[in-house]
Amino acid sequence: TPAGPLLAIESSCDETACAILAPDGTVLAERLVSQEDHVAFGGVVPEIAARAHLALLPDLARKTLESSGLARSDLAAVAASTGPGLIGGLIVGASFGKGLAIALGKPFIAVNHIEAHALSARLPGVFDGHLTFPYLLLLVSGGHCQCLAVEGIGHYRRLGGTIDDAAGEAFDKVAKMLGLGWPGGPALERLAREGNPAAFALPRPLKGRAGCDFSFSGLKTAIARQLEPYGSAPLPRQVAADLAASFQQAVADVIEDRIIHALAMMERPTALVAAGGVAANATLRSRLTALAGSHGLPFVAPPLRLCTDNAVMVGWAALEICREAGRRSLPLPDNRAMRP
């Protein structure tokens, strides 16, 4: 474990974020910028994201340090997400982090972004009662949609994932078809409150199928077909609301079914954990809470700011990795250190 506070950096998508954590996981400071430059394009533009990270990161890191009240020389290590994600942004974050680590003469810890999501539910304060292994993680965001058996630090078994779009991507695309802005998930959820979830008979892709893979592109196509009669005419608000509610219901049904399968693929899971932007969805949350309860398990979802991309989870994962390496008296594995 680092002998002092650690600076963590996240830059894998369109969030530029820094956090400083004490060795016990206490968050000493955090700063996050959700890049606005992509809104006009209706989605994240990798090139723009990378340039924005480059422009934002130095100042953000300085301000984070300032608000922690620490001096640069107090930092005992630097960590950054080094993949998976958009490569331009990852290179910016990793290079900045490594440069800083070299200047300070302190170690650099490379963190797998999915691993950071996977371990975020173990952050102090997220779940009262310590979250122990193994647990089932449903990671549902704009870029990811997968079920992981989290069996220990460094031990993750992928039980299944999407064979086409990520869940958030489907929310965003359907929202766009319904004339809502980007990101579409929150807007679609709001509109769905005015709609009837049984108004449209939409497919439930892969429901009942063995394993726990996901598919969402068929749902998107089904919505497009329902929209055909309206051509370029404006969509009546009630129709849009009914479609939004029906879509959300279909997604929740499918995810519930896939989670039932995923739970059966694990031996004695301790909890059902959800992370990623889509885990903010209230319909999905209440379904997963009930589902976990029916299996005698707690449902754990980190607060939204820790569910979506952030640097706190990166710092926490770095601490967990170091602690585990220390426990086994091993040096950090090669792929953890100094490699983007």
What does the binding site for ligand KG4 look like in residue numbers (CB under 6 A)? 13, 141-143, 168, 171-172, 183-186, 189, 276-278, 280-281, 308-309
**Selected range binding Zn ion among 39-47, 154-162, 208-216, 309-317, rule: CB under 5 A:** 309-317
Q: How far is the CB of 111 from Zn ion (least distance, A)?
A: 12
How many whole angstroms separate alpha carbon 194 and alpha carbon 230? 20
5 binds, among Zn ion, ligand KG4, none (CB under 5 to 8 A by kind): none
Q: Based on CB atoms, which residue is closest to ligand KG4, 141 or 270?
A: 141
Q: Could you say whether residue 242 binds Zn ion (CB under 5 A)?
A: no
Give the E-state strand segments of the chain in sequence order. Answer: 6-10, 15-21, 27-34, 77-83, 108-112, 135-140, 145-152, 155-161, 272-275, 299-300
Q: Based on CB atoms, which residue is closest to ligand KG4, 97 or 276?
A: 276
Contacts of 68 (CB under 8 A, 6+ apart): 5, 20, 28, 29
Q: Could you say whether residue 172 binds Zn ion (CB under 5 A)?
A: no
Q: How far is the CB of 206 from ligand KG4 (least distance, A)?
A: 19
- With tokens 């489907």, the residue in question is 170
Q: Could you say whether residue 169 binds Zn ion (CB under 5 A)?
A: no
- Burial class of residue 274 (count of CB atoms within 10 Å of its CB; 0-12, 13-18, 19+): buried
Q: Could you say whether residue 15 binds Zn ion (CB under 5 A)?
A: no
Which residue ranges make up the annotated binding site? 113, 117, 139-143, 172, 185, 189, 281, 309
Which residue ranges make up the annotated binding site for substrate? 139-143, 172, 185, 189, 281
How many whole angstroms separate alpha carbon 175 and alpha carbon 168? 10
Q: How far is the CB of 307 from ligand KG4 (least distance, A)?
A: 7
Q: Based on CB atoms, which residue is closest to Zn ion, 17 or 57?
A: 17
183 binds, among ligand KG4, Zn ion, none (CB under 5 to 8 A by kind): ligand KG4
Which residues are registered as beta bridge partners of 33?
A: 16
User: HSE of 34 in the Cβ direction (CA atoms, 13 Å)?
Assistant: 8
User: HSE of 272 in the Cβ direction (CA atoms, 13 Å)?
Assistant: 28
Q: How far is the CB of 196 from Zn ion (least distance, A)?
A: 33
Q: Based on CB atoms, which residue is closest to ligand KG4, 93 or 107?
A: 93
How many whole angstroms separate alpha carbon 204 and alpha carbon 169? 17
Per CB under 5 A, the list member of 213, 242, 309, 320 interacting with Zn ion is: 309
Q: Based on CB atoms, which residue is closest to ligand KG4, 143 or 160?
A: 143
Which residue ranges make up the annotated binding site for Fe cation? 113, 117, 309
Question: Phi and psi dihedrals of 236, rounded to 5?
Answer: -55, 140
